[in-house]
Amino acid sequence: MASGVKPRVKVPKTAAAGEVITIKTLISHQMESGQRKDKEGNVIPRSIINRFTCDFNGQNVIDVTLEPAISTNPYFQFEATVPEAGEFVFTWYDDDGSVYDTKKQIAIG
Amino acid sequence: MNYKSWTAIAVLAAAPIAAFADADEDALVVNGEIEMITQAAAPDHLSDVMDEVYSGWRFRSDETQALQMDDFDNPAMIFVDQAMEKWDTAEGTAGKSCADCHGDAEESMAGVRVVYPKWNESAGEVRTLAMQINDCRENQMGAEKWKYTGGSMAAMEALISVQSRGMPVNVATNGPAQSTWEAGKELYYTRTGQLELSCANCHEDNYGNMIRADHLSQGQINGFPVYRLKNTKLNTAHARFKGCVRDTRAETYSPGSPEFIALELYVASRGNGLSVEAPSVRN
Protein backbone atom coordinates (compact mmCIF):
# COMPACT_ATOMS: atom_id res chain seq x y z
CA MET A 1 0.00 0.00 0.00
CA ALA A 2 1.21 3.44 -0.84
CA SER A 3 2.28 5.21 2.32
CA GLY A 4 0.91 8.42 3.75
CA VAL A 5 -2.45 8.19 2.04
CA LYS A 6 -5.01 10.33 3.79
CA PRO A 7 -8.37 11.37 2.40
CA ARG A 8 -9.79 14.78 3.26
CA VAL A 9 -13.23 16.11 2.48
CA LYS A 10 -14.95 19.41 3.06
CA VAL A 11 -18.75 19.37 3.04
CA PRO A 12 -21.02 21.95 4.70
CA LYS A 13 -22.71 20.61 7.83
CA THR A 14 -26.11 21.92 6.81
CA ALA A 15 -27.85 22.98 3.63
CA ALA A 16 -31.34 24.09 2.57
CA ALA A 17 -33.39 21.41 0.82
CA GLY A 18 -32.58 21.52 -2.88
CA GLU A 19 -29.53 23.72 -2.33
CA VAL A 20 -26.48 23.31 -4.52
CA ILE A 21 -23.43 22.89 -2.32
CA THR A 22 -19.73 22.87 -3.14
CA ILE A 23 -17.73 19.86 -2.08
CA LYS A 24 -13.95 19.80 -1.93
CA THR A 25 -11.95 16.60 -1.70
CA LEU A 26 -8.27 15.91 -1.52
CA ILE A 27 -6.34 12.72 -1.03
CA SER A 28 -2.66 12.76 -0.26
CA HIS A 29 -1.16 10.24 -2.64
CA GLN A 30 2.10 10.16 -4.54
CA MET A 31 0.42 9.28 -7.88
CA GLU A 32 3.50 7.55 -9.28
CA SER A 33 2.92 7.65 -13.01
CA GLY A 34 4.81 4.52 -14.05
CA GLN A 35 6.82 6.60 -16.52
CA ARG A 36 9.68 7.51 -14.24
CA LYS A 37 12.89 5.61 -13.68
CA ASP A 38 14.97 5.29 -10.53
CA LYS A 39 18.73 5.89 -10.27
CA GLU A 40 19.50 2.42 -11.62
CA GLY A 41 17.30 2.99 -14.64
CA ASN A 42 14.52 0.65 -13.57
CA VAL A 43 10.99 1.78 -14.18
CA ILE A 44 9.23 2.77 -10.97
CA PRO A 45 5.96 0.86 -11.09
CA ARG A 46 2.77 2.79 -11.53
CA SER A 47 0.89 3.45 -8.33
CA ILE A 48 -2.00 5.84 -8.64
CA ILE A 49 -5.54 6.37 -7.48
CA ASN A 50 -7.44 5.16 -10.54
CA ARG A 51 -11.02 5.91 -9.56
CA PHE A 52 -12.88 8.31 -7.33
CA THR A 53 -16.58 8.20 -6.56
CA CYS A 54 -19.02 10.15 -4.45
CA ASP A 55 -22.46 8.83 -3.50
CA PHE A 56 -25.29 10.48 -1.66
CA ASN A 57 -27.77 8.20 0.10
CA GLY A 58 -26.90 5.41 -2.29
CA GLN A 59 -27.19 7.57 -5.39
CA ASN A 60 -24.10 8.29 -7.41
CA VAL A 61 -23.04 11.94 -7.58
CA ILE A 62 -19.75 11.69 -9.44
CA ASP A 63 -17.59 8.87 -10.75
CA VAL A 64 -14.14 9.80 -11.99
CA THR A 65 -11.51 7.76 -13.80
CA LEU A 66 -8.03 9.04 -12.99
CA GLU A 67 -5.13 8.66 -15.38
CA PRO A 68 -1.39 8.58 -14.69
CA ALA A 69 -0.86 12.19 -15.78
CA ILE A 70 -2.79 13.48 -12.78
CA SER A 71 -0.40 14.97 -10.30
CA THR A 72 0.34 14.24 -6.68
CA ASN A 73 -2.44 14.71 -4.11
CA PRO A 74 -5.44 14.76 -6.46
CA TYR A 75 -7.95 17.47 -5.59
CA PHE A 76 -11.55 17.51 -6.77
CA GLN A 77 -14.05 20.25 -6.32
CA PHE A 78 -17.60 19.74 -7.52
CA GLU A 79 -21.18 20.70 -6.80
CA ALA A 80 -24.06 18.56 -5.62
CA THR A 81 -27.73 19.21 -5.05
CA VAL A 82 -28.92 18.17 -1.62
CA PRO A 83 -32.61 17.16 -1.72
CA GLU A 84 -32.71 15.76 1.79
CA ALA A 85 -30.61 15.10 4.87
CA GLY A 86 -28.24 12.23 4.44
CA GLU A 87 -24.74 10.97 4.03
CA PHE A 88 -22.09 11.53 1.42
CA VAL A 89 -19.76 8.61 0.88
CA PHE A 90 -16.44 9.32 -0.82
CA THR A 91 -14.36 6.45 -2.14
CA TRP A 92 -10.91 6.34 -3.67
CA TYR A 93 -9.58 3.20 -5.41
CA ASP A 94 -5.83 2.60 -5.38
CA ASP A 95 -3.93 0.63 -8.04
CA ASP A 96 -2.74 -1.72 -5.33
CA GLY A 97 -6.31 -2.69 -4.50
CA SER A 98 -6.62 -0.49 -1.42
CA VAL A 99 -9.87 1.37 -1.05
CA TYR A 100 -10.08 4.49 1.06
CA ASP A 101 -13.38 5.96 2.07
CA THR A 102 -14.75 8.82 4.10
CA LYS A 103 -18.32 9.65 5.06
CA LYS A 104 -19.86 13.03 5.76
CA GLN A 105 -23.30 13.73 7.19
CA ILE A 106 -25.32 16.69 6.03
CA ALA A 107 -28.43 18.02 7.72
CA ILE A 108 -31.23 20.15 6.32
CA GLY A 109 -31.44 23.42 8.15
CA MET B 1 5.58 67.61 -29.18
CA ASN B 2 5.30 70.20 -26.48
CA TYR B 3 6.15 69.79 -22.87
CA LYS B 4 2.54 69.33 -21.70
CA SER B 5 1.73 66.37 -23.88
CA TRP B 6 4.94 64.67 -22.82
CA THR B 7 3.81 65.09 -19.25
CA ALA B 8 0.47 63.52 -20.12
CA ILE B 9 2.22 60.51 -21.62
CA ALA B 10 4.41 60.22 -18.58
CA VAL B 11 1.35 60.16 -16.34
CA LEU B 12 -0.32 57.52 -18.48
CA ALA B 13 2.79 55.40 -18.47
CA ALA B 14 3.08 55.66 -14.73
CA ALA B 15 -0.47 54.49 -14.09
CA PRO B 16 -0.04 50.76 -14.79
CA ILE B 17 3.15 50.71 -12.74
CA ALA B 18 1.30 52.24 -9.81
CA ALA B 19 -1.09 49.28 -9.92
CA PHE B 20 1.82 47.00 -9.04
CA ALA B 21 3.43 49.18 -6.48
CA ASP B 22 3.40 48.40 -2.81
CA ALA B 23 1.26 45.99 -0.90
CA ASP B 24 -2.41 45.60 -1.76
CA GLU B 25 -5.20 46.33 0.69
CA ASP B 26 -6.58 42.81 1.10
CA ALA B 27 -7.24 41.42 4.57
CA LEU B 28 -6.14 37.93 5.48
CA VAL B 29 -8.58 35.84 7.47
CA VAL B 30 -7.84 32.13 7.54
CA ASN B 31 -10.76 29.69 7.60
CA GLY B 32 -13.04 32.66 8.16
CA GLU B 33 -11.88 32.92 11.75
CA ILE B 34 -8.17 33.57 12.29
CA GLU B 35 -7.54 37.24 11.60
CA MET B 36 -3.97 37.90 10.57
CA ILE B 37 -2.02 41.08 11.10
CA THR B 38 -0.44 41.62 7.69
CA GLN B 39 0.47 45.25 8.25
CA ALA B 40 1.96 46.69 11.41
CA ALA B 41 3.86 49.70 12.63
CA ALA B 42 7.54 49.06 12.00
CA PRO B 43 9.45 47.92 15.07
CA ASP B 44 11.47 50.66 16.78
CA HIS B 45 14.79 49.55 15.34
CA LEU B 46 13.41 50.15 11.82
CA SER B 47 11.90 53.55 12.49
CA ASP B 48 14.65 55.26 10.47
CA VAL B 49 14.05 53.24 7.33
CA MET B 50 10.34 52.46 7.11
CA ASP B 51 7.04 53.27 8.77
CA GLU B 52 5.20 50.05 8.29
CA VAL B 53 5.96 46.40 7.80
CA TYR B 54 3.90 44.17 5.51
CA SER B 55 3.53 40.45 5.26
CA GLY B 56 4.61 38.96 1.95
CA TRP B 57 1.02 37.79 1.54
CA ARG B 58 0.03 41.34 0.66
CA PHE B 59 2.33 41.33 -2.34
CA ARG B 60 0.95 38.19 -3.94
CA SER B 61 -1.79 37.83 -6.53
CA ASP B 62 -5.40 37.27 -5.48
CA GLU B 63 -5.24 33.65 -6.63
CA THR B 64 -2.17 32.88 -4.53
CA GLN B 65 -3.64 34.78 -1.59
CA ALA B 66 -6.81 32.70 -1.75
CA LEU B 67 -4.85 29.48 -1.30
CA GLN B 68 -3.80 30.61 2.15
CA MET B 69 -7.25 31.71 3.28
CA ASP B 70 -8.61 28.21 3.68
CA ASP B 71 -6.71 25.32 5.20
CA PHE B 72 -8.36 22.93 2.80
CA ASP B 73 -6.92 24.81 -0.14
CA ASN B 74 -3.54 25.35 1.50
CA PRO B 75 -1.28 22.61 0.12
CA ALA B 76 1.07 23.01 3.09
CA MET B 77 -1.49 21.43 5.38
CA ILE B 78 -0.69 18.02 3.92
CA PHE B 79 2.80 18.41 5.34
CA VAL B 80 1.42 19.51 8.68
CA ASP B 81 -0.59 16.28 8.77
CA GLN B 82 2.50 14.27 7.94
CA ALA B 83 4.40 15.97 10.75
CA MET B 84 1.53 15.22 13.11
CA GLU B 85 2.09 11.53 12.47
CA LYS B 86 5.81 11.92 13.15
CA TRP B 87 4.98 13.84 16.32
CA ASP B 88 3.27 10.73 17.67
CA THR B 89 5.83 8.22 16.36
CA ALA B 90 8.55 6.97 18.68
CA GLU B 91 12.04 7.11 17.16
CA GLY B 92 15.62 6.62 18.28
CA THR B 93 17.30 4.72 21.04
CA ALA B 94 15.24 6.30 23.81
CA GLY B 95 12.07 4.98 22.21
CA LYS B 96 10.35 8.29 22.66
CA SER B 97 8.17 10.41 20.41
CA CYS B 98 7.70 14.17 20.52
CA ALA B 99 4.32 13.55 22.13
CA ASP B 100 5.85 11.59 25.04
CA CYS B 101 7.39 14.77 26.42
CA HIS B 102 5.39 17.54 24.79
CA GLY B 103 1.95 15.96 24.79
CA ASP B 104 -0.59 17.56 22.52
CA ALA B 105 1.19 19.86 20.08
CA GLU B 106 -1.83 22.13 19.95
CA GLU B 107 -1.33 23.04 23.58
CA SER B 108 2.39 22.64 24.20
CA MET B 109 3.53 24.38 21.01
CA ALA B 110 1.13 27.34 21.11
CA GLY B 111 3.15 30.55 21.11
CA VAL B 112 6.49 28.82 20.54
CA ARG B 113 7.06 30.01 16.99
CA VAL B 114 6.58 33.70 17.84
CA VAL B 115 9.74 33.97 19.94
CA TYR B 116 12.13 31.94 17.76
CA PRO B 117 15.03 32.25 17.12
CA LYS B 118 15.74 32.82 20.79
CA TRP B 119 18.54 32.66 23.31
CA ASN B 120 19.00 29.28 24.95
CA GLU B 121 20.48 29.82 28.37
CA SER B 122 21.83 26.33 29.03
CA ALA B 123 23.41 26.04 25.59
CA GLY B 124 24.69 29.62 25.65
CA GLU B 125 23.63 30.32 22.07
CA VAL B 126 20.81 31.65 19.95
CA ARG B 127 18.77 28.75 18.71
CA THR B 128 16.39 28.46 15.80
CA LEU B 129 13.36 26.21 15.87
CA ALA B 130 15.20 23.75 13.65
CA MET B 131 18.16 23.61 16.03
CA GLN B 132 15.83 22.97 18.93
CA ILE B 133 14.06 20.19 17.04
CA ASN B 134 17.36 18.54 16.21
CA ASP B 135 18.57 18.96 19.78
CA CYS B 136 15.48 17.09 20.93
CA ARG B 137 16.00 14.38 18.36
CA GLU B 138 19.66 13.91 19.19
CA ASN B 139 19.71 14.30 22.97
CA GLN B 140 16.21 13.38 24.10
CA MET B 141 15.19 10.75 21.56
CA GLY B 142 18.56 9.37 20.54
CA ALA B 143 17.46 9.71 16.94
CA GLU B 144 19.32 10.93 13.90
CA LYS B 145 19.31 14.63 13.22
CA TRP B 146 17.19 15.85 10.36
CA LYS B 147 18.70 17.77 7.47
CA TYR B 148 18.40 21.44 8.34
CA THR B 149 16.25 22.37 5.37
CA GLY B 150 14.89 18.89 4.61
CA GLY B 151 11.29 17.86 4.17
CA SER B 152 10.87 16.33 7.63
CA MET B 153 12.32 19.40 9.30
CA ALA B 154 10.20 21.82 7.29
CA ALA B 155 7.07 19.81 8.04
CA MET B 156 7.80 19.69 11.77
CA GLU B 157 8.51 23.43 11.81
CA ALA B 158 5.17 23.92 10.06
CA LEU B 159 3.36 21.81 12.63
CA ILE B 160 4.89 23.78 15.48
CA SER B 161 4.35 27.12 13.76
CA VAL B 162 0.72 26.51 12.89
CA GLN B 163 -0.09 26.38 16.61
CA SER B 164 0.94 30.04 16.83
CA ARG B 165 -1.00 31.25 13.81
CA GLY B 166 -2.36 34.74 14.25
CA MET B 167 -0.07 35.57 17.15
CA PRO B 168 2.30 38.46 16.49
CA VAL B 169 5.97 37.67 16.00
CA ASN B 170 7.93 38.83 19.03
CA VAL B 171 11.58 37.85 18.95
CA ALA B 172 13.96 39.39 21.48
CA THR B 173 16.67 41.60 19.99
CA ASN B 174 18.32 42.64 23.22
CA GLY B 175 19.82 40.84 26.19
CA PRO B 176 22.07 37.88 25.44
CA ALA B 177 20.79 37.65 21.85
CA GLN B 178 21.90 41.17 21.02
CA SER B 179 25.32 40.38 19.60
CA THR B 180 23.81 37.72 17.31
CA TRP B 181 21.12 40.17 16.27
CA GLU B 182 23.74 42.75 15.41
CA ALA B 183 25.70 40.24 13.39
CA GLY B 184 22.49 39.50 11.50
CA LYS B 185 21.91 43.17 10.86
CA GLU B 186 25.44 43.51 9.53
CA LEU B 187 24.77 40.68 7.09
CA TYR B 188 21.44 42.16 6.02
CA TYR B 189 23.18 45.31 4.84
CA THR B 190 26.26 43.63 3.39
CA ARG B 191 26.36 43.43 -0.39
CA THR B 192 27.27 40.02 -1.73
CA GLY B 193 28.02 38.39 -5.04
CA GLN B 194 28.80 39.60 -8.51
CA LEU B 195 25.60 41.61 -8.51
CA GLU B 196 26.66 43.29 -5.28
CA LEU B 197 23.24 43.20 -3.71
CA SER B 198 22.40 43.19 -0.03
CA CYS B 199 19.09 42.03 1.40
CA ALA B 200 18.22 45.68 1.92
CA ASN B 201 18.70 46.64 -1.74
CA CYS B 202 15.67 44.61 -2.71
CA HIS B 203 13.59 44.17 0.41
CA GLU B 204 14.04 47.57 2.01
CA ASP B 205 14.77 49.96 -0.84
CA ASN B 206 12.61 48.37 -3.51
CA TYR B 207 9.78 46.38 -2.03
CA GLY B 208 6.63 46.85 -4.06
CA ASN B 209 8.63 47.17 -7.28
CA MET B 210 9.06 44.46 -9.85
CA ILE B 211 12.36 42.64 -10.13
CA ARG B 212 11.88 41.27 -13.62
CA ALA B 213 8.67 39.21 -13.23
CA ASP B 214 8.67 39.10 -9.44
CA HIS B 215 6.84 41.47 -7.17
CA LEU B 216 9.30 42.28 -4.40
CA SER B 217 8.04 41.94 -0.86
CA GLN B 218 9.76 43.10 2.28
CA GLY B 219 11.22 39.64 2.67
CA GLN B 220 9.43 39.00 5.95
CA ILE B 221 9.71 35.50 7.35
CA ASN B 222 6.53 35.44 9.46
CA GLY B 223 5.07 32.95 6.98
CA PHE B 224 7.93 30.42 7.07
CA PRO B 225 8.05 27.55 6.46
CA VAL B 226 6.27 28.46 3.25
CA TYR B 227 4.71 26.34 0.56
CA ARG B 228 6.01 27.61 -2.76
CA LEU B 229 4.05 26.94 -5.91
CA LYS B 230 7.30 26.92 -7.89
CA ASN B 231 8.64 23.82 -6.17
CA THR B 232 5.46 22.41 -4.62
CA LYS B 233 6.97 21.82 -1.22
CA LEU B 234 7.60 23.48 2.08
CA ASN B 235 10.61 25.79 2.14
CA THR B 236 12.48 26.84 5.23
CA ALA B 237 13.80 30.32 5.88
CA HIS B 238 17.41 29.21 5.55
CA ALA B 239 16.74 27.56 2.20
CA ARG B 240 15.20 30.84 1.06
CA PHE B 241 18.16 32.85 2.35
CA LYS B 242 20.42 30.54 0.43
CA GLY B 243 18.35 31.06 -2.71
CA CYS B 244 18.49 34.81 -2.31
CA VAL B 245 22.23 34.96 -1.73
CA ARG B 246 22.77 32.61 -4.65
CA ASP B 247 20.74 34.96 -6.82
CA THR B 248 23.23 37.71 -6.06
CA ARG B 249 25.71 35.32 -7.69
CA ALA B 250 27.60 34.71 -4.49
CA GLU B 251 28.88 31.64 -2.74
CA THR B 252 26.26 31.23 -0.06
CA TYR B 253 26.47 30.45 3.60
CA SER B 254 25.16 27.03 4.58
CA PRO B 255 21.71 26.55 6.04
CA GLY B 256 22.16 26.22 9.79
CA SER B 257 25.42 28.22 9.75
CA PRO B 258 26.00 30.88 12.42
CA GLU B 259 25.63 33.54 9.72
CA PHE B 260 22.15 32.40 8.69
CA ILE B 261 21.07 31.91 12.30
CA ALA B 262 22.01 35.51 12.99
CA LEU B 263 20.30 36.63 9.81
CA GLU B 264 17.16 34.69 10.71
CA LEU B 265 17.00 36.41 14.08
CA TYR B 266 17.48 39.82 12.53
CA VAL B 267 14.99 39.29 9.69
CA ALA B 268 12.45 37.85 12.14
CA SER B 269 12.84 40.96 14.28
CA ARG B 270 12.03 43.14 11.28
CA GLY B 271 8.64 41.44 11.30
CA ASN B 272 7.95 41.85 15.00
CA GLY B 273 4.25 42.67 15.19
CA LEU B 274 3.16 40.71 12.11
CA SER B 275 1.13 37.56 12.68
CA VAL B 276 2.74 34.17 12.35
CA GLU B 277 1.23 32.91 9.08
CA ALA B 278 3.11 29.68 8.74
CA PRO B 279 2.62 27.60 6.76
CA SER B 280 1.94 30.29 4.19
CA VAL B 281 1.58 30.01 0.42
CA ARG B 282 3.72 32.01 -1.96
CA ASN B 283 4.72 31.73 -5.59
3-state secondary structure A8-58: EEECCCEECCCEEEEEEEEEECCCECCCCECCCCCECCCECEEEEEEEECC
State the Cα–Cα distance between residues B135 and B153, nearest whole angstrom.
Answer: 12
- Give the pLDDT band of residue B232 (cuts 50, 70, 90): confident
Which chain B residues touch A26 with a CB distance below 8 Å?
72, 78
Is the pTM above the cut of 0.90? no
- Give the pLDDT band of residue B102 (cuts 50, 70, 90): very high
Say which of A6, A26, A28 has its CB closest to residue B72: A26
Cβ(B146)–Cβ(B153) below 8 Å = yes
Reference B117, options B235, B243, B269, B255; nearest CA is B269
Which chain A residues touch B82 with a CB distance below 8 Å?
4, 28
Shortest CA distance from B85: residue in chain A: A4
State the Cα–Cα distance between residues B265 and B183, nearest whole angstrom.
Answer: 10
Compare B24 and B11 and report the one with higher pLDDT: B24
Burial degree of B222 (CB within 10 A; 0-12, 13-18, 19+):
buried
In angstroms and rounded to an integer, the radius of gyration of the C-alpha atoms of chain B is 20
Length of chain B: 283
B residues 177-236 closer than 8 Å to A (CB): 232
- Give the pLDDT band of residue B25 (cuts 50, 70, 90): confident
Q: What is the per-residue pLDDT for A43?
A: 94
State the Cα–Cα distance between residues B271 and B168, nearest whole angstrom.
Answer: 9
Burial degree of B198 (CB within 10 A; 0-12, 13-18, 19+):
middle
For range A56-84, the mean pLDDT = 93
State the Cα–Cα distance between residues B58 and B62, nearest whole angstrom.
Answer: 9
CB–CB of B72 and A10 under 8 A?
yes
CB–CB of B232 and A10 under 8 A?
no
Q: What is the per-residue pLDDT for B16?
A: 43
- Give the pLDDT band of residue B154 (cuts 50, 70, 90): very high
Q: What is the per-residue pLDDT for A1?
A: 47
Q: What is the per-residue pLDDT for B17?
A: 42
Q: Could you give the percent of chain B with pLDDT greater than 70?
A: 93
A residues 22-81 closer than 8 Å to B (CB): 24, 26, 28, 72-73
Q: What is the per-residue pLDDT for B4?
A: 53
Would you call B244 a catalytic residue per the annotation? Answer: yes
Q: What is the per-residue pLDDT for B6?
A: 52
Beta strands at A86-94 and A49-56: parallel, antiparallel or unpaired? antiparallel
Q: Is the ipTM of this complex over 0.85?
A: no
Q: What is the per-residue pLDDT for B19?
A: 43
Q: Under 8 Å CB-to-CB from B34, ≥6 apart: which residues?
A: B165, B166
Report whether pLDDT(B249) > 50.
yes
Phi, psi of B26 (to 5 degrees): -65, 150
Phi, psi of A29 (to 5 degrees): -155, 140
For range A40-54, the mean pLDDT = 94
Q: Could you give the percent of chain B with pLDDT greater than 90?
A: 83
According to CATH, the superfamily of the domain at A6-108 is Immunoglobulins (2.60.40.10)
Q: What is the per-residue pLDDT for B5?
A: 52
CB–CB of A28 and B73 under 8 A?
no
Report whether pLDDT(B273) > 90.
yes
Q: What is the per-residue pLDDT for B21?
A: 60
